[in-house]
Amino acid sequence: MNRFALTALILLSVFSSLLLADTKAKPSIEVLFHSQISAIASNDYQQFLEHTDSNFRKAISAEQFETLSRSLSSRFKGGYQPEYLGVLNQEGFKVHLWKVVSSSSESDSLIKMAMGQNQIAGFWIE
């Protein structure tokens, strides 16, 4: 193999691994994401707060969560397909992004899950 071909192969390998680095969430992040969706679908406030930090727990009341769950549970009960979009570094947090296609809704959702100190610091559904 000539030197140019070898260099090109190495560069392709490096760039491919960089491009694919954020196309899949870490398994622990995936578990947290699915746990939050499951909590919303089943209106389980305690499950929703289980892995959140104290600021998040203070920010969402049981009544607010119930309203959220009533509004969105049907989107997730019938099944959904999440597509991990990557992670952003924002003000000290890792914000993980998913596109979620629901089998029971014509609208897709964008879900953001902010992580800080191995706990969920924010969870938004747009």
- 3-state SS track over the chain: CCHHHHHHHHHHHHHHHHHHCCCCCCHHHHHHHHHHHHHHHCCCHHHHHCCECHHHHHHCCHHHHHHHHHHHHHHHHCCEEEEEEEEEEECCEEEEEEEEEECCCCCCEEEEEEEECCEEEEEEEC
Specify the pTM: 0.79
Please report the pLDDT score of residue 121 as a whole number: 97
pLDDT number for residue 5: 39
Q: What is the per-residue pLDDT for 107?
A: 85
**pLDDT attached to residue 2:** 54
Could you say which residues of the chain have pLDDT below 70? 1-22
**pLDDT the model gives residue 22:** 58
